[in-house]
Amino acid sequence: MKRSSLYFALSLLLVLGGMSACKTQYDTVLESSDVDLKYKAAFDYFNAGKYSRSSALFESLTLQTNGTERYDTVLYYLGLSNYSFKDYYTAETNFDTYLTNFPTGAFSETAQFLRIDCLYRSTLRYELDQTPTLTAITAIGEYLREHPEGANSDIARHRLQELGDRLDRKAYENAKLYYKMEDYKAARVALKNVLKDDADNIYREDILYYSAMASYKYADMSVASKKKERFLVFQDDYLNFIGEYPESHYRKELDGLYEKVKEKN
């Protein structure tokens, strides 16, 4: 038993010694309290494209450089390391921390744009929750107000338009769902509300078309005593539509329905 215990202890020491001997140069630097050594190594790893390691080193340096003139650079490159590693969620948090601490810092404009890029990448298809889209739109608006002629202002404007169009489609498709369900009264109300909230919705032509179609179908399905009154609503919708879109590809179909209603009335 004693010999067995001694053998186990020796084996354990050999394993621990081997583990210690296997400690890499990176591990040694990461655990070091030498700021200069760690700072240089962080940039060496970053420039070599080893972003996971540079991120860990810069994160360690945030505690060691807080309150020094290196702190802004460390915070920025921490975000840039995670961004380059495609960890956009963490990078967005890093850039937000940088901007909170250094709103007018040397890297502030670039950090603000890269944060926007992270938020943009987190947005979802129009069918899904658009909360991330609204967050990104707010951030882009702030960037453009502060940097209207910034190096990335054209990209920011393009993305702002794209995200706005996505919200337009979300609103339009949600309202049109009532039409697909053949709840034509609710469809017309929902479609009209879309334009009440946003008159410049890029699907305005389609919205007005489906509004007119909904009012026609609602009237056509009504009891005889209600038809005449409800077809008048369709006629109003028709006239509004052709007033705005006289050359629309929907025109022929709506013209046919309008003539049919005139014959009935």
**Joined tokens for residue 8:** 């186990």
Instruction: Decide if 98 contacts 105 (C-beta within 8 A).
Output: yes
Instruction: Tell me the per-residue pLDDT of 51-103, one tens digit each, with 9 for 90 and over.
Output: 999 999 999 999 999 999 999 999 999 999 999 999 999 999 999 999 999 99
Average pLDDT on 121-139 reads: 96
Q: Could you tell me the pLDDT band of residue 262, with boundaries at 50, 70 and 90?
A: confident
Looking at 17-31, 47-61, 122-136, which range is the least confident one? 17-31
Rounded Cα–Cα distance for residues 52 and 33 (Å): 20
| Nearest residue to 174 (alpha-carbon basis) of 135, 203, 205 | 203
Q: Where does residue 150 fall: left (phi above 0), alpha (psi -120 to 50 degrees), or beta otherwise? A: beta
Enumerate residues 6+ apart whose C-beta is below 8 A from 34.
none
Mean of pLDDT over the chain: 92
| C-alpha to C-alpha distances, 136 to 29, 118, 153, 245, nearest whole angstrom | 37, 9, 14, 33
Average pLDDT on 32-47 reads: 96
Residue 214 CB-half CA count within 13 A: 24
Q: Could you tell me the pLDDT band of residue 18, with boundaries at 50, 70 and 90?
A: very low
Rounded Cα–Cα distance for residues 161 and 144 (Å): 13
Rounded Cα–Cα distance for residues 241 and 245 (Å): 6
- pLDDT over 70 at 15, yes or no: no
Residue 250 CB-half CA count within 13 A: 19
Instruction: Tell me the per-residue pLDDT of 145-190, one tens digit each, with 9 for 90 and over.
Output: 999 999 999 999 999 999 999 999 999 999 999 999 999 999 999 9
| Nearest residue to 38 (alpha-carbon basis) of 21, 19, 62 | 62
Q: 61: buried, middle or exposed (CB in 10 Å: 19+, 13-18, 0-12)?
A: buried
Cα 107 off chain centre by: 23
Residue type, 192: K
Q: 113: buried, middle or exposed (CB in 10 Å: 19+, 13-18, 0-12)?
A: buried
Instruction: Tell me the per-residue pLDDT of 55-69, one tens digit each, with 9 for 90 and over.
Output: 999 999 999 999 999
Enumerate residues 6+ apart whose C-beta is below 8 A from 225.
none
What is the pLDDT, as a whole number, of residue 94?
98
| Nearest residue to 27 (alpha-carbon basis) of 50, 9, 53, 7 | 53
Q: Could you tell me the pLDDT band of residue 3, with boundaries at 50, 70 and 90?
A: low
What is the pLDDT, as a whole number, of residue 263?
82
Instruction: Tell me the per-residue pLDDT of 202-227, one tens digit each, with 9 for 90 and over.
Output: 999 999 999 999 999 999 999 999 99
Q: Could you tell me the pLDDT band of residue 5, with boundaries at 50, 70 and 90?
A: low
